[in-house]
Chains A and B, each alone.
Chain A
Amino acid sequence: MSTPIIQFDKVNKWYGNNFHVLRDIDLHIAQGERIVVCGPSGSGKSTLIRCINRLEEHQQGHLTVDGVELNDDVKAIDDLRKKVGMVFQQFNLFPHLTVLENLTLSPMWVGKLPKKEAEERAMEQLRRVRIAEQAQKYPLQLSGGQQQRVAIARALCLTPKIMLFDEPTSALDPEMIKEVLDVMIEMADQGITMVCVTHEMGFAKAVADRVIFMDEGQIVEQNNPHDFFSKPQSERSRDFLSKILGH
């Protein structure tokens, strides 16, 4: 097996002095793998994926992403972030820029692309998320589902190797969840490594290669979606699944 693109080795993290948010995380993710991370709130799943692009710093253990060990080397982090796209629960689009400007910002300023090229790339991504006609609008003029698709397109403009999704549908109305998930499912076919924190179990069944279940800062269970949903191994995952699937 080739070396994993993301590799957690005994990673520990504390918030403050006593809140132990990640406990001895060991996790290897292969290139092109699609991972769904789930678990009750406060279980550390968001923290886990935020460590991958170092929005959070781990304090113990080793975390290697695309061959680079994450530490205080700021230059390495800057390089890493060009390869890792991220989509947030609250979209975090830049409200003072148009949709198109949101997308071209990083390619122009970080990737040093000429404006015309950046705009072409941006329009291509907007077509991909089926929102090209909104390019000249401002984010707040769009619906939540549209904003999240713009956010996905913005992350894709970096042509990342890895995409991180931090509860991308949790802030959306039910009828908008599908349009975002459809875009994510399409993306899953294209060989990009995806790590998604989500409670959308339908999505997990449809695209995930592996489901990771976390509780109290630990990876309690990991399995392929079929087995995870049909015969969860631990008490806690059974309890969790009964809660989110039971209604």
Chain B
Amino acid sequence: MSTFNAIAARPAPSTSSGALAWCRANLFHDWKTTLGTVLIGLVLLGVLPRLLHWALIDAVWSGNYETCQAASGACWAVVQEKFRFILFGRYPHAEHWRALVCTVMLLGLILASCTRAFWRPWLALLWLVVLAAYFALMHGGFAGLRLVETDLWSGLPLTILLASLSMVMAFPIAVFIALGRRSGMPAIRSLCTVYVELIRGVPLISVLFMASFMFPLLMPQGFNIDVLVRVLAGITLFAAAYMAEVIRGGLQAIPKGQLEAAATLGLSYWQMQRKIVLPQALAMVVPGLMNNFISTFKDTSLVAIVSLYELTGAMGMAMNSDANWRPFRIEGYLFIAVIYFVFCYSMSRYSQWIEAQVNKSKQR
């Protein structure tokens, strides 16, 4: 017969708080965490001072390239000198205000679309109006505005246009492709599968290249579609293929019982998808979709291959076109890195908010 042996009582959890307690709990909990803390601390000690010297203490905040070349630190003056070129690229200097207005307008539209108050049917109309205004103002050629061809559109307004428009257009396509891949009709199913596999099988660069250079060869003489539109179509179709697979993952996670219940209630196929399947499937794949959105946003930088200069391209051009400032491209890259980060991090935070919204029905 075994005897009962009580486990020794464990100490009550520490109730002390404050910085010291936090450090003990998180940094010096046992010898392993202590070792980690010390090692990381040593690395930081070695790197941080030099980084601080370069980025802040010895940095040049304003002045010309000669001051910069004389200094040992970062040359932030380059940002001050070139920021208009970086943000608006080849867009005519005197017309930069138009590009700025368009950027603000588009950003406003996107922000509005992210808020609940705007989730109404007329939001689609608002998109059409704002996009029309964007194209009109950027293009000009009326009311005394100078005509600016689309190949001169560049910098941040182009990045935001390409990213937002391609995402908005790719999303519905992706939904249909995902549904199509699970269709009961073999022709539709294979068509959608072929589409996804073809697009996923090639790099975005080659899609853009084909959209830009090969497509015109296939068209009859004199028939031409604007390069911007072709590139937009390329990014959209590319993003849609990846997004479709993310959505398909969500579709597969819907229990069969949900479909049976919907069927017994007499819902048609499309009613079932719209009311039962998609709301649940999309809610499940919010993180994956946002992953896709973020990577599409950054992928727009590849359009430089077809001579469209969005933010990254404009930055490169701003630096390369001026031998005096060319040595300071690191600072330029850091500047646009901050811009990219602000956008991508906002998207990431927004996705967390959306997740909280769609999970409300799961809270008890």
Where the two chains meet, the residues of A that have a C-beta atom closer than 8 Å to any C-beta of B are 53, 55, 78, 81-82, 84-86, 88, 90, 92-98, 105-106, 109-110, 138-141, 154-155, 158
Please give the distance in Å from A13's CB to the nearest CB on chain B. 17
Asked if B276 and A140 make an inter-chain contact with CB atoms under 8 angstroms apart, the answer reads no
Q: Which of B264, B266, B361 contacts A140 (CB 8 A)?
A: B361
Q: Which of A90, A96, A140, A158 contacts B280 (CB 8 A)?
A: A96
Q: A140-B361, A141-B364, A158-B266 are in contact. Are A92 and B275 (CB under 8 A)?
A: no
Q: Which of A55, A90, A106, A140 contacts B265 (CB 8 A)?
A: A106
Look across to chain B and name the residue whose beta carbon is closest to the beta carbon of A139: B361
Say what secondary structure dominates the interface of chain B.
helix
Look across to chain B and name the residue whose beta carbon is closest to the beta carbon of A106: B265
Distance of A90 Cα from B263 Cα, bound (Å): 15
Q: A110-B271, A140-B361, A141-B364 are in contact. Are A92 and B266 (CB under 8 A)?
A: no
* Residues 261-277 (chain B) with a chain A CB within 8 angstroms: 261-268, 271, 275-276
Asked if B275 and A109 make an inter-chain contact with CB atoms under 8 angstroms apart, the answer reads yes
Task: List chain B residues, Cβ under 8 A from A95.
Answer: 280, 361-362
Tell which of B261, B268, B358 has the most Cβ of chain A within 10 Å.
Answer: B261
A and B contact pairs by CB, cutoff 8 A, 12 listed: A53-B264, A55-B263, A78-B266, A86-B261, A92-B257, A92-B260, A94-B258, A96-B361, A98-B361, A105-B267, A138-B363, A140-B362
B283, CB-defined interface residue at 8 Å: yes
Please give the distance in Å from A132's CB to the nearest CB on chain B. 20
B279, CB-defined interface residue at 8 Å: yes
Distance of A156 Cα from B70 Cα, bound (Å): 84
Q: A88-B257, A92-B260 are in contact. Are A140 and B364 (CB under 8 A)?
A: yes
Asked if B260 and A88 make an inter-chain contact with CB atoms under 8 angstroms apart, the answer reads yes
Distance of A21 Cα from B348 Cα, bound (Å): 51
Task: List chain A residues, Cβ under 8 A from B262.
Answer: 94
Asked if A106 and B266 make an inter-chain contact with CB atoms under 8 angstroms apart, the answer reads yes
Asked if B264 and A84 make an inter-chain contact with CB atoms under 8 angstroms apart, the answer reads yes
Distance of A154 Cα from B261 Cα, bound (Å): 10
Task: List chain A residues, Cβ under 8 A from B257.
Answer: 88, 90, 92
Task: List chain B residues, Cβ under 8 A from A78.
Answer: 266, 268
Please give the distance in Å from A179's CB to the nearest CB on chain B. 20
Task: List chain A residues, Cβ under 8 A from B276.
Answer: 94
User: B232-270, CB under 8 A of A: which get 1 and which 0?
Assistant: 000000000000000000000001011011111111100
Asked if B280 and A81 make an inter-chain contact with CB atoms under 8 angstroms apart, the answer reads no
Asked if B265 and A154 make an inter-chain contact with CB atoms under 8 angstroms apart, the answer reads yes
Asked if B280 and A88 make an inter-chain contact with CB atoms under 8 angstroms apart, the answer reads no
Besides the known contacts A78-B268, A92-B255, A110-B266, 19 further A-B residue pairs in the complex with CB atoms under 8 A apart: A55-B264, A81-B265, A82-B266, A90-B257, A92-B261, A95-B280, A96-B279, A96-B361, A97-B361, A105-B265, A105-B267, A106-B265, A106-B267, A109-B271, A110-B267, A110-B271, A140-B361, A141-B363, A158-B265
Task: List chain B residues, Cβ under 8 A from A81.
Answer: 263-266
Distance of A45 Cα from B18 Cα, bound (Å): 65
Where the two chains meet, the residues of B that have a C-beta atom closer than 8 Å to any C-beta of A are 255, 257-258, 260-268, 271, 275-276, 279-280, 283, 358, 360-364
Please give the distance in Å from A70's CB to the nearest CB on chain B. 14
Task: List chain B residues, Cβ under 8 A from A105.
Answer: 265, 267, 275
Look across to chain A and name the residue whose beta carbon is closest to the beta carbon of B364: A141
Distance of A110 Cα from B364 Cα, bound (Å): 30
Task: List chain A residues, Cβ under 8 A from B264.
Answer: 53, 55, 81, 84-86, 155
Task: List chain B residues, Cβ under 8 A from A55.
Answer: 260, 263-264
Task: List chain B residues, Cβ under 8 A from A106.
Answer: 265-267
Distance of A105 Cα from B364 Cα, bound (Å): 23
Tell which of B257, B262, B266, B363 has the most Cβ of chain A within 10 Å.
Answer: B266
Asked if A88 and B267 make an inter-chain contact with CB atoms under 8 angstroms apart, the answer reads no
Distance of A78 Cα from B260 Cα, bound (Å): 13
Distance of A214 Cα from B362 Cα, bound (Å): 39
Asked if A96 and B271 make an inter-chain contact with CB atoms under 8 angstroms apart, the answer reads no
Task: List chain A residues, Cβ under 8 A from B263.
Answer: 55, 81
Distance of A232 Cα from B201 Cα, bound (Å): 66
Distance of A155 Cα from B264 Cα, bound (Å): 9
Tell which of B264, B267, B358, B362 has the most Cβ of chain A within 10 Å.
Answer: B264
Asked if B258 and A92 make an inter-chain contact with CB atoms under 8 angstroms apart, the answer reads yes
Task: List chain A residues, Cβ under 8 A from B275.
Answer: 105, 109
Task: List chain B residues, Cβ under 8 A from A98.
Answer: 361
Task: List chain B residues, Cβ under 8 A from A93.
Answer: 261
Task: List chain A residues, Cβ under 8 A from B268.
Answer: 78, 110
Task: List chain A residues, Cβ under 8 A from B258.
Answer: 92, 94
Look across to chain A and name the residue whose beta carbon is closest to the beta carbon of B358: A96
Closest 4 CB pairs of A and B: A92-B261, A106-B265, A92-B257, A138-B361
Asked if A110 and B362 make an inter-chain contact with CB atoms under 8 angstroms apart, the answer reads no
Distance of A98 Cα from B279 Cα, bound (Å): 13
Distance of A239 Cα from B267 Cα, bound (Å): 42
Q: A96-B283, A106-B266 are in contact. Are A88 and B271 (CB under 8 A)?
A: no
Task: List chain A residues, Cβ under 8 A from B265.
Answer: 81, 105-106, 110, 154, 158
Task: List chain B residues, Cβ under 8 A from A141.
Answer: 363-364
Please give the distance in Å from A208's CB to the nearest CB on chain B. 22
Task: List chain B residues, Cβ under 8 A from A138.
Answer: 360-363
Task: List chain A residues, Cβ under 8 A from B360.
Answer: 138
Look across to chain A and name the residue whose beta carbon is closest to the beta carbon of B279: A96
Distance of A90 Cα from B360 Cα, bound (Å): 22
Task: List chain B residues, Cβ under 8 A from A154.
Answer: 265
Please give the distance in Å from A41's CB to the nearest CB on chain B. 18
Task: List chain B residues, Cβ under 8 A from A109.
Answer: 267, 271, 275
